[in-house]
A and B are shown apart, each in its own frame.
Chain A
């Protein structure tokens, strides 16, 4: 048994060492200004470690340095969803969105409130909601059985209600089908085809809300401008 534990430990240690080496190699390429090569290395790592916010963040950095603001925004956004309290991710996402003419914190909303609202990951918020629910159930049961701690039960219920609204709102935001303009310029057309007239050009980095899709075209709303139209799938990157 001891031998097995030692062997498993060795395997994990080796994998971690290999990964650290790959990260260092990619970082070296980035420091030399070989952003495209660094991007390839990080994307290779992402295949082994999916949903790692640091990898998405680094990929976003590579795209940003290569001038692909749209793809940078998409990857920063993925990183932000996984690690919303990370100050670096928040900073870079804000800057990349500003380059594309978008705002990360909605106009009129205090940044502190925005940070608080996104202070927990979706799964953490769910955990907190469950915990508060369990506490409420316990207190309510106690009150029903022993007529004790009634005020605590009511307080717990209020907390559960607040957390439930918060979680539902966050879930709605997380489930929004978002995309970003990845091509240097995307043409917004009145229908799903290049035979429909273009009504606007949308620069890369703009956030899009996907409404519908037909063939290779998406019906989108440009959030910052309130424009609606169809954009070819190749011109956007889903988040």
Chain B
């Protein structure tokens, strides 16, 4: 009996040993499912604690660039080895580089930390560069893990009617038939168009079992969008040797025309020496061997641009076939001025996230606001399906029946190599007159006006019953005659030229010509005197009638007549007075001589005198 107890104790110690040694080999790993994403994408942060048992929770760093809106915990114990996986679903808040700091775990009086992870966040629709899921690790090397296979009898053969992608994988695998563990990768189309989604398949083949989990690293990508769409298991016999494989499928699409590459995927595994080992042997084998890495081949692609010929205006970048579009309104009967939500839904294969937003045509009678879009992808039986929803608000400005025309949306069909257009059904909106009681009447304007009057409010004044056509005024009419200003300007210019050139004024000319005419006819001294008086009146504005000589001289002096001319005038005037009032003393021929003197004086006055 005592011997049995000793054996049991020994066995119990043996059972505890791997658990204890596993506790010493705790590893903490953090990884993300993508390092390049858009602001509308979800990011899955996976924190894996390998080798720790009991209750514990890793401490996440402060992540101001992300909103965390979901988490889950999964525990797996295989051969007394515990692996706990914490998954956090996060959405980036801003575009740009975002760093997820170290995740911390306090376990068994030790602190474990992961490396920081940097992700690049783009705005929706902007093209990412390369994406390379980066594992952050401590002692372990865990990315997303391939579960350890179960030992099963392997007898299956590949079917004869194998599709092209499977055929490629099969042929690639056949070349590796001499290895126990290997990986292959193949793509369904090496020359896709921009945004055309093709399938990348990666298989991890193993002819012998491996211990624990086999950490799996996604392929790095360049100039591609990539999303995991599913995984599966299968078997294949190569050269009489039966392999099991674990396959992962990705939907990839080219971002821009040109070369692109899906790099090597890898799996880290701990090989099992003998498939027939006992449970205890497998346990010891797992901890005694170093992990090995196997990598797949890289896959190169050439991304083709979609043809320019025949590209419709309603083409926003979608490539594929089998798209559908629908439009709906949240209500079709509204009052004028009320908002209506217009939703356009596009569904189809591939990834619609990088496609541009729908542009609405002009909608007469509506105020139309910005279109907002939301896109997402859904894995579906190893392929990718996606949707894009466009939403906008439209407001009918007045009552009536409105029709929103069919909205076109085009895509490029790579099989037919031509553009195809799908369209929504026209939608009708019945806008009734606004029943709002608020018609602008200002009830707040109530006030006592005195004398028993009380103002109840303020409103706009009533309509005008007639047109204002013909309300042209005299001044408005003058405004149309602006060309006449040139005439007035010319008049002013002419007058200015006369003044500047110091020529005889018109009045002077007129006075001289009148006086000359009168002097020619003058036969008596009196006539000469009259002609001179007329001249002085017109030329200087001086009236000589019944004025004494000194007053006439003073007036001439005042009007700028030079003193020598005044003296000359006085002498002549005295002669004329003498001739008129003492004719006997004067000879008859004096009249002609005085006329000449008068004409000479007038000429001098015209040249030298100013008004």
Chain A residues in the interface with B (C-beta under 8 A): 19-20, 23-24, 27, 30, 33-37, 39-40, 45, 49, 52-55, 57-58, 61, 64-69, 71-72, 82-83, 88, 91-92, 95-96, 98-99, 120-121, 123-128, 130-131, 133-134, 137-138, 140-142, 144-147, 182-183, 194-195, 232, 234-235
Contacts and interface: CB of A to CB of B under 8 A. Distances in A.
Contact of B477 (A66, A127, A137): A127
A201 to B, nearest CB: 14
Contact of A141 (B367, B458, B494): B494
22 contacts: A23-B466, A24-B465, A34-B433, A36-B400, A40-B400, A49-B469, A52-B469, A54-B467, A64-B440, A65-B440, A66-B337, A88-B462, A88-B464, A121-B473, A127-B475, A127-B478, A128-B478, A131-B475, A131-B478, A133-B488, A183-B395, A234-B369
Q: Please tell me the size bucket of the interface on B.
A: 35 or more
Nearest to A24: B465
A87 to B, nearest CB: 8
A235 B390 CA distance: 20
B296 interface: no
Contact of B398 (A40, A45, A126): A40
A133 to B, nearest CB: 6
Contacts of A142: 495
A36 B398 contact: yes
Interface string B379-415: 0000000000000000101111000000000000000
B440 A133 contact: no
A107 to B, nearest CB: 19
Interface in B450-504: 458-469, 471, 473-479, 481-482, 484-485, 488-489, 491-492, 494-496, 498-499
**3 closest pairs, A vs B, by CB?**
A127-B478, A127-B475, A36-B398
B479 A67 contact: no
Nearest to A194: B370
Nearest to A30: B463
A144 to B, nearest CB: 4
B464 A54 contact: yes
B442 interface: yes
Contact of A123 (B123, B395, B469, B479): B479
A35 B433 contact: yes
Nearest to B497: A144
Contacts of B398: 36-37, 39-40, 66
Given A66-B439, A144-B499, 9 more contacts: A27-B465, A35-B434, A36-B433, A37-B433, A65-B460, A92-B460, A96-B440, A133-B488, A232-B370
B148 interface: no
Contact of B488 (A54, A82, A134): A134
B399 A36 contact: yes
Contacts of B464: 54, 57-58, 88
